[in-house]
Structure 1
Amino acid sequence: MFKITPTTTFQILLSIFSVPLLIVPLQGNSQSTDLEQPILLRLKRHWSNPPSINHWTPLRPNSNSSTHCNWPEITCSNGSVTGLSLIDKNITGPIPPFICDLKNLTAIDLQYNYIPRPFPTALYNCTKLQHLDLSQNLFVGCIPGDVDRLSTHLRTFNLSGNNFTCDIPELTTLRLFLNLFYGSFPPEIGNLSRLEWLELSDNEFAPMAIPSTFTQLRKLKQLLIKGSVLSLFSNQLSGEIPESISRLPSLRYLTLSNNNLSGTLSPDLGQYSILQGFEVAQNHFTGELPEYLCANGGLIGIAAYDNNLSGELPNSLGNCSSLLIVRVNGNRLSGSISAGLWTSTNLTLLMLSDNSFTGQLPRTLAPSLLRLEISNNKFSGEISTGLSSWKHLTVFSASNNLFVGTIPQELTTLSQLTTLLLDGNLFSGHLPSDIVSWKSLTTLNLSRNQLSGSISAKLGSLPSLTVLDLSRNEFSGQIPTQIGHLKLTSLNLSSNCLTGKIPAEFEYTFFNASFLNNTGLCGSNPSLGLEICSSRFQNSSKISSRLLAIIIVIATVLLASATLLTFFLIKTCWKKEHKSVSKWELTYYHKLNLHFKESDILSNLTENNVIGSGGSGKVYRVELNCSSEIVAVKRIQNIKKLDQNVEKQFLAEVEILGTIRHSNIVKLLSCIFSETTKLLVYEYLGNHSLDSWLHGKKRQSISDSDHGVVLDWPKRLKIAVGAARGLCYMHHDCKPSVIHRDVKSSNILLDSQFNAKVADFGLAKILAKHGGPNTMSTVVGSFGYIAPEYAGTSRVNEKIDVYSFGVVLLELVTGRKANDENEDRCLADWAFQYYNQKGNHLVDALDEKIKEPHYLNVMTCVFKLGIFCTGPFPTNRPSMKEVLQILLNCSHQSGFGGGNVGSDSSDFSNDFRQGSIFEGEDGSLLSIV
């Protein structure tokens, strides 16, 4: 029996979100109702009278009731049946021969049923058939070799999602993804001269090169052979692309990214067809890019990054007005960029980094350009003044080039700019004086230049700035106190000529490398590696003997008091614990209005205050005696010295949470530790975890009676958006990025207003290189939330968090647990199979406790997003930024509000809801767009 499993590939989503089958009426001779209705009723009886078509009832004599042409599954033309659409009707019997007694039948659609047995050759007798869709059924065996006996009028033929085996016969249309074919691509496919669509993905074909006979497919428009055709993490297509493929006149999209293909690209690609998409990224191609890619004026995007391509960019790209995206980073390309490409009318993304390009930046850029990435090249000269055409630019990455001169003032007028990377150049002079327009700027890196003068205090007024690197320049003077007002996750002012005391906000170990090699700086924290300010001033100031005597007396009293206090604490702990306790150390990670001592915490760590427990310890609710404030304390304790694994968990949690500043991530206030016990002090969140609201009893009643005892849909959507914001910040704004590795509903905490905060980073992992996979020695996480590739290989990247968050979304919309002991599969598998079988009835899967008519569309959208996030291929899952965009769009559509994350939020969300995230205009994958 065919079963969709978690290893089913992203191609299933193509069928789920594809355009419904078009039923085209055929003009022909009418056939009387008296002859056709008995055939339909006989068909109903043959299939054991499925309840889904109970409304197929005989026409009563002398009745004015509607005929069978008004049944929703039937299409008629001139009073005769031309279309039969029985999608997802729970049909379990075979297709009978007498179905072709409907002589004018042009369309049969039986997808998403349970029809067994071999291919129904009886359909050969349906001589006017134009559309036949038997996908997502239980057909077995071989596709018969004489299948070309089907109607010569056949235009659509879909057999995907069945259990066909054996060799592939010769056909005029092939959509055979998601079957059990094996062996090699049959070279005979090249003899199908009328073939326009070839889709062979998601089978068990062996690693191979593309057969040279495919070049004979003169009418081929779509060639889809990437994805699970091969292995999960890297495809295995090898060898060279046959040169004659470039002469296919109907070829529009060439998508061969992420394989092991090599050799040179045919110089004729694009010369004989209106090529729109050219994707050959992440292979081993050498030589030059083809000159004629845009010869016929239809090219939308180029994705040729991460190859070994050399030479110059084709001059023809400078005259290609249709271009939206050019991604050629990570090659060995050289030469200058044509003026026409810099200013191409519709260009939105130009990524040229990691090559050897030369030349100067133009004064005018493409009016629609959003991202310009040219780092690690040999561009030179000054950045021109008068950059009015750069006004839409959001990312400007020009690190490690040969730019000279000053940073122009006009650059600070780019109000949309979020990332500015100019490090590793030869810039000199002062910083621009007026930077107030940089309201959206999050990352500013000007390190490794020759900039001088003072650091502008106006940097402290940039509301979004989180990363600031001015290291290895010649800045002088004091660090403006306004810089301390920024919520920085990364700061580097090292290797300059700065003087004076550092701002108090940076007196933490997190910033211990931020001020090195500034001989004139001092601080109060010895761990920062700076001279202590007090000792410097002692050398330059004269202190009177009387004042010195007072200081000595005060110091003596304080020392005596500290000694007595230490003795008292040791004595108290001895009475309580009946053993000596190591010295406690307390470190603050946030600037707090409340201050507390270790004793305030230790005295409240009792069983009555336990509010949770996990693998590494218990969590306590502690009311501070000094201020009546409430905090949550996580205790990690072992009588003996902490073992290595627990120590790593502790250090990971402290390292990450001590650096993060975000409203949707739980705030670590301080840590208290001794040799055998670690205490983490967090902000307290009164509404506990999302898991306790969805699947368990909440621990305390809500004072606002309007909240009720069940989370309604607006609150659930608010929680989803909040948690997505936190994870999006971790993945995209932290440098380096942060992976949680244990996202689940019990690790999403809620404050009194049901704002979500991501918690428990004991299992998190910081990537050494953004986006690069790391391999962990062990797989950790919670069953039901673990991504399949992580469980199988221990490989880690951001997409494992996306998978886990997708499960949380499914919990929110269905009310089900991620792993129900009463079920034989996890929630992600259940939702995927439910969607596959009952895609038209998703409302039935939603949580009955919150299902209201005006929420159904949004809940269904989030259900689909959960399936999208839990796809088996990590490369096909959305990023957390994209997930957040979709959720925000859902919030706006529902009138719940929620803000925005970028100018393309609505476009991406609309594309998701309309299916174009999965499928291009002609069904092709458009990963470059």
Structure 2
Amino acid sequence: MGGFPGEKSPIFGRFQLLLLALAAVSYISTPAAFAQEVAILIRFKQNLEKQAQGELPDLFQSWKSTDSSPCKWEGISCDSKSGLVTEINLADLQIDAGEGVPPVVCELPSLESLNLGNNEIGGGFPQHLFQCSSLKSLNLSMNLFVGLLPNNISALTKLENLDLCGNNFTGEIPPGFGRLPSLLELNLTNNLLNGTVPGFLGQLSNLQRLDLAYNPMAEGPIPEELGRLTKLRNLILTKINLVGKIPESLGNLVELEEILDLSWNGLSGSLPASLFNLHKLKLLELYDNQLEGEIPANIFNLTSITDIDISNNRLTGSIPSGITQLKSLRLLHLWQNELTGAIPEGIQDLGDFFELRLFKNNFTGRIPQKLGSNGKLEVFDVSNNMLEGPIPPELCKSKRLVELILFNNGITGGIPDSYGSCPSVERILMNNNKLNGSIPPGIWNTEHAYIVDLSENELSGSISSEISKASNLTTLNLYGNKLSGPLPPELGDIPDLTRLQLYGNMFEGELPSQLGQLSRLNVLFVHDNKLEGQIPKALGMCKDLAQLNLAGNQLTGSIPESLGDISGLTLLDLSRNMLTGDIPLSIGEIKFSSFNVSYNRLSGRVPDGLANGAFDSSFIGNPELCASSESSGSRHGRVGLLGYVIGGTFAAAALLFIVGSWLFVRKYRQMKSGDSSRSWSMTSFHKLPFNHVGVIESLDEDNVLGSGGAGKVYLGKLSNGQAVAVKKLWSAAKKGDDSASQKYERSFQAEVETLGKLRHKNIVKLLFCYTCDDDKFLVYDYMENGSLGEMLHSKKAGRGLDWPARHRIALGAAEGLAYLHHDYKPQVLHCDVKSNNILLDAELEPHVADFGLARIIQQHGNGVSMTSIAGTYGYIAPEYAYTLKVTEKSDIYSFGVVLLELVTGKRPIEAEFGDGVDIVRWVCDKIQARNSLAEIFDSRIPSYFHEDMMLMLRVGLLCTSALPVQRPGMKEVVQMLVEARPKEKILAKQAV
């Protein structure tokens, strides 16, 4: 077999080559090579150290230049054979490197994996990484990178995993991303990419995961080419402005296993039947689109499916019976569609089923009566349908049921006794049905329930004294039933109760004085019952009460003086009772939006604060009640002669308004060089029981409250003596700058248009405004305690805020912002949330103010672009500084900074933090270094509040997450702050 003598055989030649290769490896892996890699990594560390301007995380302490090899260093992995570095993992260390990734890293010849995720590394995409020719995995996620994605990414031919999520990359996905033949995973989630989904991604034939979610991309379709990715296991295209139909080609993705998520887009058309043949798929997420038509009948082919969510679309037809064959199904969300028919009976036989949400459809028939018998049900919501028949008795068989929601149906029968032993339930909403019978006493043993609503049914019987066991209840609605008997005193033992609505029943007996123990009660409606006796004086202890309605009962005695102590009361209705005596003067000092004491037996004078046209019909049916302008003995002053009161009130109001406006204009003209050509315009936003004369006299330097970028604020007084804050905006004309003039006008218009329409107790009230050419004045309610920033950071004695007050301020401000973001339409973004823009009244009730930068969002989803950075340094969300685009998450970040101020007592920027470090970074550094919480918390707050402070600290850190998508919504923030209320035992300790 060998060759001729003197010749080398081919086998020998190949053996020689192998020896040479081994020799080369042996040469590379010498101690000198190890020392070289030590030197490279030390230079890498020094570069990071220089950028961080301080100490690096503790991990780097193991990196020592005296070591012969880096393989035992933390964050470093080496090849088991060659001993060379193959992996650097420095994720989750909060490394601050604003100039980017040190280039020296690519001098490591065998580097295959670089993980720098979840740090604070900035700059553009590090182009020098293309020299890391062996790189297979690159993770730069959750950093501060900006700029365009690199087209020459295709130079990394061996790349298998690329994770760039959670940065601020902009522009389109470049074609180079379609030329990565080895790529298995591509994650570009939560950036600022604004192109469409490119079809060339369909060329990535080995791709197993594609995630482009949460990018403000341009409207565009799902490319048909994605159907070529036949090895794909995960496809996530959430909230990227997709439109058009779902292509049938996605049915070719037969290896889809984990998730197909096309939710939060604008997709339309029918559901492709091919999607329902993906037999390996576990999670199908298609919610929040505009899909229509019926659910395909071949749904039974989704044999591995566990979760289906097609909610908030326009689906019609019934639920296919084949859904009952999906034995692994755990979760089904089809809410807010136009589905009809019955709920398939076979759903009750699915063994792993635990969550069903079908609300806001047109389902009919009975609820399957054995639903819940599998012992795993946790959420059941079929509200807003047309369901009939009884409540299934076994929904809580699992003892794990959290939500039981049936409202707005035609459900009949009684509430099963089995729900008297459902300790896990948190929300029971059965209102507006046809339920009858009594309320099972055991239902009050649900110690975790925070809302129970059984209103608008035909329930009878009484409220059990067992109700005191529902200790976490915040809302109890039983109105519109046939309940009777006395109100149990035990209602006063529910410490967190904020809404108690029992009206429209047949309750009798006296109103329990124990209700005065409900310190957090905000709404008490017990009107239209058969209650008798006197109004308890103890109700005056309910300092948070905003709405009190006791009308239509048989109450006697006088109106308690103590009700005048509830300064935040906006609605008081005591009409249609048998009350006697005077109206307490203290009640006349409250600023009501609704007040009614008609049809009683009251006498004496009407307090001055109530004697105005706004409440002209509030005193009818009290013949012995006199208007305050008349003597107590004058029969002409009787409120029973209503014509005098109404006519006189309107005439006086009209006269005062005309005279007041004329005097204002004349006075201002005199003060402004007698310019008789100027024409003033006044706009009022509230029905006010006084005229506006005297406002202009407030423009005196002795009355200046403060001055800012938009103008100067004066303390003024109206003709009735009410203190107001008058904001005079800087005149743009004096600046001689057209852009300044436009900005000035825009600021004024934003504040007027926004505030003039808002109605919330935690939003500062704009009373009226005056304009004349460039002179503009805004008149607000005066806030006696100034701003939160002033009070929190003032060094004056006695200006500190205790923890309960700080919590109340945080919660109130959060509720105001939640109103702007969620309840007011169109949505309003404040754009300059900070402690100095949260004003405090005499009771330390917070009012969000200064809407000069506010933006109104006509369409949700994309935010608003600004032409320059607006906001205040220290409060601006990190992504905003790069993109000049505001969303509700920008406000939430700023509010998170305010929460950190409340917890720490420090300003957003302090010298002690160091250069370039704000309060968010300072707090994170303290936590990262495992410092004592006492070093973070405001030392003026006693340590027994630290547990409660920790709860608010967590909320603040959530709000200031670097990734906008990780920040909660304002309604979630409100809920978290409600749950973070100071504990009663701590408040008792403070009182001692």
TM above 0.5: yes
Note if contact 1:86-1:110 (Cα within 8 Å) is conserved in structure 2: no
Aligned equivalents of 1:678, 1:599: Cα separation in 2: 14
2:303 is equivalent to residue 210 of structure 1? no
Shift of 1:240: 1.1
For 1:269-418, list aligned pairs within 5 A: 269-293=323-347, 295-363=349-417, 364-385=420-441, 387=443, 389-418=445-474
Indicate which of 859, 881, 884 corresponds to 1:825: 884
1:267 Cα deviation (Å)?
A: 2.3
SS at match of 1:278: strand
Q: Determine if contact 2:436/2:458 at 8 Å carries over to the other structure.
A: yes
Contact 1:255 1:279 in 2 (8 A): yes
Q: For 1:65, which of 64, 68, 73 is the aligned residue?
A: 68
Q: Distance in 2 between matches of 1:327 and 1:405?
A: 27
The residue that corresponds to 1:767 in the other structure is none
Closer/same/farther in 2, CA of residues 887 and 345 from structure 1, 3 Å limit: closer
- For residues 529 and 136 of structure 2, the distance between their equivalents in structure 1, rounded to whole angstroms, comes to 85
CA change 1:512–1:703 in 2 (3 A) is closer
8 A Cα contact 1:257 1:282, kept in partner: yes
Distance 1:446 1:82, change over 3 A: same
The residue that corresponds to 2:146 in the other structure is: none
Aligned to 1:195: 256
Distance 1:379 1:528, change over 3 A: closer
Q: Deviations over 1:243-289 (max 9, x none)?
A: 22233221011011111111111223253331122111111111122
8 Å CA contact 1:356, 1:377 repeated in 2: yes
User: 2:728 & 2:443 partners in 1: Cα distance?
Assistant: 56
- Residue of structure 2 aligned with 1:633, choices 725, 729, 732: 725
Match of 1:865 in 2: 959
Letter in 1 for 2:402: T
Of the structure 1 ranges 332-341 and 156-165, higher mean CA displacement relative to structure 2 is found in 156-165
CA displacement 1:343-374 (0-9 Å, x = unmatched) = 43101111111111112123423121121110
Q: Normalising to structure 2: TM-score of the pair?
A: 0.59
Amino acid in structure 2 at the alignment position of 1:112: L
Give 1:389 deviation, angstroms. Answer: 3.4
Which amino acid is 1:420 matched to? Answer: L
Amino acid at match of 1:173: L
Is the aligned partner of 1:172 residue 2:231?
yes
2-structure distance, mates of 1:308, 1:75 = 62
The one-letter amino acid of 2:412's match is T
Preserved CA contact (<8 Å) 2:421 2:442 = no
Please state whether the residue corresponding to 2:575 is helix, strand or coil: coil
The answer to whether the aligner puts 1:497 opposite 2:540 as a matched pair is no
Question: Which of 477, 485, 495 is residue 421 of structure 1 equivalent to?
Answer: 477
Match status 1:703 vs 2:815: no
| Separation of aligned partners in 2, 1:687 and 1:647 | 20
Q: Number of residue pairs matched?
A: 729
Q: Return the offset for 1:457.
A: 2.3
Task: Find the counterpart in structure 2 of residue 774 from structure 1.
Answer: none
* C-alpha distance in 1 between matches for 2:916 and 2:320: 50
Q: Classify the secondary structure of the residue corresponding to 1:851.
A: helix
Match of residue 603, structure 2, among 525, 533, 537: 533
Do 1:452 and 1:474's aligned partners in 2 also have CA atoms closer than 8 Å?
A: yes
Contact 1:724–1:883, Cα closer than 8 Å, also in 2: no
Say which SS state the counterpart of residue 745 (structure 1) adopts. Answer: coil
Are 2:918 and 1:847 equivalent residues in the alignment? yes
Q: C-alpha distance in 1, partners of 2:43/2:243? A: 38
SS in 2 for 1:263: coil
CA contact (8 A) 1:265 1:289 kept: yes
1:607 aligns with 2:664: no
CA distance in 2, matches of 1:180, 1:718: 44
Q: Spell out the pairing of 1:44-83 with structure 2 (5 A cutoff).
A: 65-66=68-69, 72=75, 76=79
Partner deviation per Cα, 1:492-526 (whole Å, 9 max, x = no partner): 11222223332345579976761223355565379
- The aligned counterpart of 2:573 is 514
Q: 1:753 to 1:73 in 2, by over 3 A?
A: farther
Rounded Cα–Cα distance in structure 2 between residues aligned with 1:35 and 1:405:
92
Q: Which runs of 5+ in 1 are unaligned?
A: 1-28, 57-62, 227-233, 541-546, 553-565, 581-586, 590-596, 638-642, 708-713, 763-780, 835-842, 893-897, 903-929
> Contact 1:869–1:878 (CA<8 Å) still a contact in 2?
no
Say if 1:750 and 1:756, in contact at 8 Å, map to a contact too.
no
Q: In structure 2, what residue type is equivalent to 1:703?
A: K
CA distance in 2: counterparts of 1:109 and 1:612, whole angstroms: 56
Matches of 2:252 and 2:295, distance apart in 1: 18
Q: 2:763 & 2:242 partners in 1: Cα distance?
A: 50
Change over 3 Å in CA distance of 1:728–1:331 after alignment to 2: farther
Aligned to 1:444: 500
1:415 and 1:440 in contact (8 A); partners too: yes
What is the root-mean-square deviation of aligned Cα atoms in Å?
6.4
Q: Within 1, Cα distance between the matches of 2:560 and 2:756?
A: 26
- Residue 847 of structure 1 aligns with an amino acid whose one-letter code is D
Query: Percent identity of the aligned residues?
Result: 23
Q: What is the alpha-carbon distance in structure 1 between the residues aligned to residue 716 and residue 315 of structure 2?
A: 61
Q: Distance in 2 between matches of 1:100 and 1:64?
A: 25
Give yes or no for the alignment of 1:472 onto 2:557. Answer: no
* Alpha-carbon offset, residue 190 of structure 1: 2.3
Aligned CA distance change for structure 1 residues 339 and 687 (closer, same or farther; 3 Å): closer
Q: Secondary structure of 1:376's match?
A: coil
Closer, same or farther: CA 533–208 of 1 in aligned 2, 3 Å: same
Q: Is residue 2:703 matched to residue 1:620?
A: no
Whether 1:92 and 2:127 are equivalent positions in the alignment is yes
| SS of aligned partner of 1:320 | coil
Change in Cα spacing, 1:252 to 1:355, as seen in structure 2 (3 Å) is same
> What CA distance in whole angstroms lies between the structure 1 residues aligned with 2:365 and 2:561?
53
Aligned AA (2:375): S
Per-residue CA deviation, residues 372-428 of structure 1 (Å, 9 max, x unaligned), is 110001110112345563333221100011111222222244222221111111112
Check the 8 A contact 1:748/1:756 in 2, yes or no.
Answer: no
SS in 1 for 2:538: helix
1:825 is displaced (CA, Å) by: 1.4
Letter in 2 for 1:498: L
Query: How far apart are residue 468 of structure 1 and its match?
Result: 0.7
Give the counterpart letter for 1:344 in structure 2: S
Please give the alpha-carbon distance, in whole angstroms, between the structure 1 residues aligned to 2:568 and 2:954.
47
- CA shift digits 1:623-676 (9 cap, x unpaired): 99xx9xx97634799xxxxx99999988867x74xxx4xxxx5898x99999x9
Answer 1 or 2: higher relative contact order, Cα 8 Å, separation at least 6. 1
Paired AA for residue 111 in structure 1 = D
1:883 maps onto 2:962 in alignment:
no
1:509/1:751 Cα in 2 relative to 1: closer, same or farther (>3 Å)? Answer: closer
Quick check: 2:811–2:978 contact (8 Å CA) kept in 1?
no
Q: Distance in 2 between matches of 1:79 and 1:286?
A: 67
1:607 partner letter: E
CA–CA distance in 2 between the matches of 1:516 and 1:101?
77
The AA in structure 2 aligned to 1:189 is L
Q: Are 1:275 and 1:294, in contact at CA under 8 Å, matched by a contact in 2?
A: no
